[in-house]
Amino acid sequence: MRGIILHTVRFIVFVLFQVLVLNHLEIQWGIYPMLYPLFILLLPFEMATVPLLLIAFALGLSIDVLSNTFGLHASSALIFAYFRPVIFKLFAPRDGYENTEESNIYTMGTRWFIYSFGLLLLIHHTWFFLIEIFKLNEILLLLRKIGLSVPFSFLLALFAQFIFSSKKKSER
């Protein structure tokens, strides 16, 4: 029960932060930071993939509705959610994920976070900009957008973890 409330609140916070703050950051050079993939990463481990996909779809669609992207974020969030179990299996620690309830940087370690979240974020951003631009002759623009936005989003997610997840570590 506590988990449901926590994740619902998080859902709203992530959507509003993306729509009201990140969408309005005035950075040039094609940088477009996206923080909401972190929400999908932070969903519980034991969650089955189908509800995961549905939640990701709802998350993406809420952002779309508020930023006139008509399904672009929904599609990218789906990609992220679809690859989450795959990547988790790929970087699984030796004793599995049994004792951990949430996949943040403190419970899983920095190395794991960089590898799995970094890779998922790369997939997500590549898909996002690929669909957004959708023109083969603008491949340089595409690469530039991916190359600049992924590190930015990653750092943002890292900071968000440092600020908001640190409390849980001291509880343990």
User: Which stretches of the chain bind other proteins, using CB under 8 A?
Assistant: 19-20, 23-24, 26-28, 30-32, 49-50, 53-54, 57, 60-61, 64-72, 74-75, 78-79, 82, 131-133, 138, 141
Nearer to other proteins among residue 85 and residue 118 (C-beta): 85
**Minimum separation from the CB atom of position 137 to other proteins (A):** 11
Closer to other proteins at the Cβ: 19 or 157?
Answer: 19
How far apart CA 99 and CA 12 sit, in angstroms, is 28
Ramachandran assignment for 67, one of left (phi > 0), alpha (psi -120 to 50 degrees), beta (any other): alpha
**Rounded distance between C-alpha atoms, residue 73 and residue 71, angstroms:** 6
CA distance 27 to 109: 31
Residue 61 to residue 93: CA distance in whole angstroms: 33
The nearest distance, CB 125 to other proteins, in angstroms, is 14
Pick between residue 26 and residue 171 the one whose CB is nearest to other proteins: 26
